[in-house]
A = this chain, B = another copy of it.
């Protein structure tokens, strides 16, 4: 099965037509006389021609018809992290519909990622700025291709980005629980700053470098204060969105003299881990403890009890992001999209 050394030119010559005609047979068949077309096609088959080489074609066209999704994370991140997964599922949906290819571009190592971004055959990038967003943006800039940043922790209006309304979303989440009657809250946070885990104070929140997490915290506070709950009363524990740190956080929070009846988790991932932990301690959800997540990943609907959460409109985000990249039509600077409360079984009024 020697890889075809047969070129379009060979087919053209063998069929006794010009290269231009041969090209048309494959690209605009309607323009060439049926008789000729069939003859060329037949010749091509006889020669074992594999069809116009993509590289030759795209060199001419200048378009790859594919977009890259990039993150400063190990490649497996795309398949492990629920949020990334949900987002990618949505993106692939959109790509599918528009016949656009999807390439995964990622590396935990900055230098490697740089190389990967430089050598990805794509027309543009969607950046998952979970971590090191600015670096990612910077790396991508050099490539001089359209790109759009998702969940970027940076307010630079020169970078086109789409993110969700963390402030308002968090407020709605906290309000939901407060209205159910909860008064003792605790927050399990996603990363606020690099290289830190554990309980965090008020000042640290305000100075947190990751604005996604910061805004969620501020949203919680804002809503709770309307119910007379001061921010001092709400312990916040910073996790790295994985099992060990979330469990450490729960150990910490539930060793307090008055453990919380309501947990505000900054991601569904954290919330799901928390529910597992609580269950293993025979604390029932939602009877003993209510848990609310953030993101709206599909897994939240598949566990028992279902996870109450603030759902991101993944489909819409994906739609806009892909369009923006493909049309090189950066949206009006920073776009902020709302999230909606989805009430399932993991939240209820506290016990009497």
- Chain A residues within 8 Å of B, Cβ to Cβ: 1, 3-4, 48, 50-51, 54-56, 58-59, 62, 64-66, 74-76, 78-80, 85-86, 88-90, 92-93, 95-96, 99, 101-107, 112, 115-116, 118-121, 142-145, 243, 276, 279-280, 298, 302-304, 328
Q: How far is the CB of A257 from chain B (nearest CB, A)?
A: 27
- Alpha-carbon distance between A279 and B145 when the two chains are bound, in angstroms: 51
Task: Tell me the minimal C-beta distance from A287 to chain B in angstroms.
Answer: 15
Whole-angstrom CA separation of A76 from B314 in the bound complex: 13
Residue of B nearest to A279 (CB): B304
Contact of A76 with B92 in the complex, beta carbons under 8 Å: yes
Chain B residues within 8 Å of A65, by CB = 119
Q: How far apart are the CA atoms of A78 and B93 in the complex, in Å?
A: 11
- Minimum Cβ distance to chain B for residue A268 (Å): 15
B101 contacts A76, C-beta separation under 8 Å: no
Given the complex, which residues of B lie within 8 Å of A95, measured CB to CB? 75
Indicate if the CB atoms of A101 and B89 lie closer than 8 Å.
no
Q: Which residue of B lies closest to A104 (CB)?
A: B102
| Interfacial chain B residues near A96, Cβ < 8 Å | 74-75, 106-107, 112
Task: Find out whether the CB atom of A144 lies under 8 angstroms from the CB atom of B4.
Answer: yes
Q: Which of B58, B79, B119 is in CB contact (< 8 Å) with A89?
A: B79
CA separation between A4 and B86, bound complex, in Å? 34
A76: chain B residues within 8 A (beta carbon)? 89-90, 92-93
Q: Are B62 and A298 in contact (CB under 8 A)?
A: no
Given known contacts A66-B121, A119-B65, A144-B50, is B89 in contact with A80 (CB within 8 Å)?
yes
List, in ascending order, chain B residues with CB within 8 A of A51's CB: 118, 142-143
Bound together, the chains give a CA A107 to CA B92 distance in angstroms of 10
Most chain B beta carbons < 10 A, residue from A103, A115, A145, A276: A103
Residues of B close to A79: CB separation below 8 A: 78-79, 85-86, 88-89, 92
Question: Which residues of the partner chain B approach A78 to less than 8 Å between Cβ atoms?
Answer: 79, 88, 92
Q: Are A121 and B64 in contact (CB under 8 A)?
A: yes
State the CA gap A54–B105 with chains docked (Å): 15
Residues of chain B lying within 8 A (CB to CB) of residue A59: 55-56, 59
Residues of B within 8 A of A116 (CB): 99, 101
Could you give 23 example pairs across A and B, Cβ below 8 Å?
A: A1-B144, A3-B144, A3-B328, A50-B142, A50-B144, A51-B142, A51-B143, A54-B120, A55-B55, A55-B59, A58-B121, A75-B89, A76-B89, A76-B92, A76-B93, A78-B88, A78-B92, A80-B298, A85-B85, A101-B103, A101-B119, A101-B120, A103-B103
Q: A58 CA to B58 CA in the complex, in Å? A: 10
Q: Determine whether the beta carbon of B74 is less than 8 Å from that of A64.
A: no
